[in-house]
Amino acid sequence: MLARLWLRLGAFLGKTLLWLVGLGLLGWLLSTLWFAWQHSGPVSPDEQIPPGESAMTQGIIQTAVRIVDQHREGTRYLRDAHAKAHGCVKAEVSVLPDLDPALRQGVFAEPGKTWQAMMRLSNGNAYPQFDSIRDARGMAIKLLNVPGKQLLADQQARGEQDFVMFSHPNFFVSDVAEYAQNVSAQADGKQVMAFFPGVDPRSWQVRHLFIALATLAPPPVSPTQTTYFSVSPYKFGAANAKFRVAPDPLGCPAYVLPKQNQDLPNFLRSALNQQLSTDRVAACFVLQIQRQNPQKFMPIEDTSVEWKESDVPFETVAKVVIPAQDFDTPALNLACDNQSFNPWFGVEAHRPIGGINRLRKAVYEAVSDYRHSRNL
Ligand code: HEM
């Protein structure tokens, strides 16, 4: 009697398990199909501004300013993001002499032209922490003496074109609404819960949590040895494009960086110093453009989506050289801190597009003004 009961129970549990496995597989299959359908082209080549977007921006500025206040070092107010610099260096950006005519847009219009530029290399965190801690790494390039009307009406005297990038191809949020929700949760110390805003599983952002974790990567051996991505899209003449700057060791004299002590808090600055100042060897990169094909899944309004290289490859438009130089002096470091980079410092041919870039327009200006006004 007892044995029969056990057998029945065993059969029941076995069947239940089979059902559960079957249902799990079906759920996985359906969600994979749903994801593939949701992430397939064509997409709009135009910006689509959701209602209420600009209203959220004010709240985000307040959070950013709160972070700047919390993280100030003594009397100095730092950036809300990418607070720690490894250095600001002089660079030269040279348009390829034989550039394909279709790629001759904006500051890349004249083949062979060399722009003088400034470059700031940074860690992503709002707090200047040890370089060995997992983080995004930033590169901001500012082309100087750029002719033509600047995008920001009150910045006409600048004559600049900035390229602001970090070391991961996609962002941990899609749009302004998600950024507002996520960042206010993070500012309250709820790092992981920021991706699970409610009990409804449809609001969970598991994919975005994985992007955030992947963005916080171990350090490169040197800031000159990693690739930096625009993440968000920009105009490229009449087209839309993302860009990236990748190391080009063959463009420069061969160089092997001596092993750095990664336990030192600022070893990325030391690595830069060793190459440029001590060993006096230039560092080389290529600046590359990936043009949008709206027939593919290359959206403008979702920065969490990496535009696949298998859909459209990156094309080199310019070479970037950081010549040997002495950049690590108190005066140059102070000037570096007082500098502002902003994706909106530039010309119409490279206008930032998409929600996250629209948000950055207000936030960079507000935070930059805030810290400059207090760092007199
Ligand atoms: C597309 C994704 C983004 C990338 C690639 C990016 C990259 C960077 C980099 C490299 C810097 C340092 C610039 C420098 O060296 O001075 C920076 C600064 C900054 N970022 Fe972003 N960022 C992104 C998105 C955002 C978003 C969504 C916000 C907030 C709305 C934001 C807010 C800021 C602020 C406030 C600064 C400091 C500005 C200053 O005080 O001068 N960023 N960002």
Q: Do residue 213 and residue 343 come from a single domain? A: yes
Ligand 1 contact via 119 beta carbon (within 6 Å)? no
Q: Do 24 and 100 belong together in one domain?
A: no
For residue 363, report the distance from its CA to the centre of ligand 1, in Å: 9
Q: Which long-range contacts (CB under 8 A, 24 or more apart) does 153-161 make?
A: 155/345, 158/345, 160/345, 160/346, 161/106, 161/107, 161/115, 161/345, 161/346, 161/347, 161/350
Helix or strand or coil: residue 141?
strand
287 closest CA partner among 313, 319, 309, 314: 319
Residue 188: what pLDDT? 81
Q: Are 152 and 345 in contact (CB under 8 A)?
A: yes
For residue 57 the two structure tokens come to 């921006």
Q: In the chain, where does DSSP find H-type helix? A: 2-38, 53-70, 176-187, 206-215, 267-273, 330-338, 355-374
Residue nearest atom 10 in ligand 1 by C-alpha distance: 138
How many Cα neighbours within 13 Å face the side chain of 337?
Answer: 19
Shared domain for 321 and 283, answered yes or no, is: yes
Specify the pairing of strand 114-123 against strand 137-143.
antiparallel
In a domain, 217, yes or no: yes
In a domain, 203, yes or no: yes
Are residues 155 and 18 part of one domain? no
Q: Which atom of ligand 1 is nearest to the CA of 230?
A: 5
Each residue's pLDDT tens digit, 269-326: 999 999 999 999 999 999 999 999 999 999 999 999 999 999 999 999 999 999 999 9
Phi then psi for 114, rounded to 5 degrees? -110, 125
Q: Which domain holds residue 25?
A: 1-31
Q: Which atom of ligand 1 is nearest to the CA of 371?
A: 40
* Ligand 1 close to Cβ of residue 245 (< 6 A): no
Question: Which residues are CB-contacts of 52 (< 8 A; sequence separation ≥ 6)?
Answer: 177
Q: Are 289 and 314 in contact (CB under 8 A)?
A: yes
| Gyration radius of the chain over CA positions | 24
In a domain, residue 36? The reply is: no
The pLDDT value recorded for residue 192 is 81
Q: Is 343 in the pocket of ligand 1 (CB under 6 A)?
A: no
Ligand 1 contact via 165 beta carbon (within 6 Å): yes
Count of C-beta atoms within a 10 Å radius of residue 12: 10
In contact, 251 and 186? CB cutoff 8 Å:
no
Same domain, 56 and 15: no
Res 60: pLDDT: 95
- Closest CA to ligand 1's atom 4: 165
In a domain, 37, yes or no: no
Atom of ligand 1 nearest to the CA of 121: 15
In a domain, 46, yes or no: no
Q: What is the pLDDT of residue 72?
A: 86
Question: What is the residue-wise DSSP string for 192-230?
Answer: TGGG--SSSGGG--HHHHHHHHHHSBPPPSSGGGS-EE-
Predicted confidence at residue 4, as pLDDT, reads 87
Whole-angstrom distance, CA of residue 120 vs CA of residue 141: 7
Is 41 inside a domain boundary? Answer: no
Q: Are both 10 and 117 inside the same structural domain?
A: no
Do 184 and 134 reside in the same domain of the chain?
yes
| CATH number of the domain enclosing 113 | 2.40.180.10
Nearest ligand 1 atom, CA 370 = 40
Q: In this predicted structure, what is the pLDDT of residue 130?
A: 98
Atom index in ligand 1 nearest the CA of residue 339 equals 16
- Residues 14 and 103 reside in one and the same domain: no
Query: 167 and 96, same structural domain?
Result: yes
**Substitution candidate for ligand 1 out of 363, 372, 374 with most atoms within 8 A of CB:** 363
CA-based nearest residue to 68, from 55, 82, 57, 88: 82
pLDDT score of 190: 85
44 occurs within a structural domain: no
How many folded domains does the chain comprise? Answer: 2
> Does 298 share its domain with 337?
yes
Low-confidence ranges of the chain (pLDDT < 70): none
| pLDDT for residue 360 | 98
* CA 289 from centre of chain: 15
CB of 360 sitting under 6 A from ligand 1: yes
pLDDT at residue 19 in the model: 94
Residue 124: inside a domain: yes
Distance of CA 109 to the CA centre of its chain: 25
* pLDDT value at residue 189: 81
Looking at the fold, whether 85 and 19 belong to one and the same domain comes out as: no
Q: What does the DSSP 8-state code read for residue 142?
A: E
Give 318's strand partners: 95, 287
335 shares a domain with 300:
yes
